Structure 1
Amino acid sequence: MQVTVWDTYVTRMDGLIMHFDILVPVAINDAAVIYGYGKEYLKTKGQEAQSLTSKECQFCHIEEASPEIKKSVKAKGYHIIEMQGCN
């Protein structure tokens, strides 16, 4: 399964930056859907009030999904890779 990777930088409520990737199947190319997945993730981190638009989240590349990512995508439609400031 190939996935698109959307590189995302969101300013948290405390002013620090959260950097994470949103991975979705290549068939999903509607940015609004992808931003919705990002907002779901932000809600789990208590950051649901933060902006998530093309300014914060942009297509980066396509890659082959690992078994773990495939499982996550099949379960909820997307996968998040936390990079920085997500704790």
Structure 2
Amino acid sequence: MKVAVWDTYVTKNDGKIMHFDIIAPEHIKDENLIYTFGKEYLRSRGQEGQSLTAKQCRFCHMESATAEMIAGIQQKGYYIIEMQNCS
């Protein structure tokens, strides 16, 4: 399965920059849907209400999905790779 990687940087409530990648199936082209995935993730981390637009979230590249990514996509429709300050 090919997936799109969306590189995302969001300023947390404490002022730190949260960096994560949103992984979505390659056929999803609607940026607003990608932002919805990111907002769901932010809500799960207690960061609800943070801005998430093209300024914070941009398409980066396509890659082959790992088994873990595929499982996440089958469960939620997307997968998150936590990079920095996500806890």
Normalised to the residue count of structure 2, the TM-score between the two structures is: 0.99
Aligned to 2:8: 8
SS at 1:37's partner residue? helix
Aligned to 1:67: 67
SS at 1:73's partner residue? helix
Aligned to 2:39: 39
Per-residue deviation, 1:49: 1.1
Distance 2:22 2:61 in 1: 11
Normalised to the residue count of structure 1, the TM-score between the two structures is: 0.99
Distance 1:71 1:45 in 2: 20
**Percent of residue pairs identical:** 59
Q: RMSD of the TM alignment (CA)?
A: 0.4
Per-residue deviation, 1:76: 0.7
Distance 1:52 1:17 in 2: 13
Residue type at the aligned position of 1:43 = R
Residues matched between the structures, number: 87
Q: Deviations over 1:67-87 (max 9, x none)?
A: 110011011100000000001
Gap regions ≥5 residues in structure 1 = none
Please identify runs of 4+ aligned residues in structure 1 that moved more than 6 A.
none
Distance 1:9 1:79 in 2: 16
Q: Deviations over 1:23-45 (max 9, x none)?
A: 00000010000000000000001
Gap regions ≥5 residues in structure 2 = none
Distance 1:48 1:4 in 2: 24
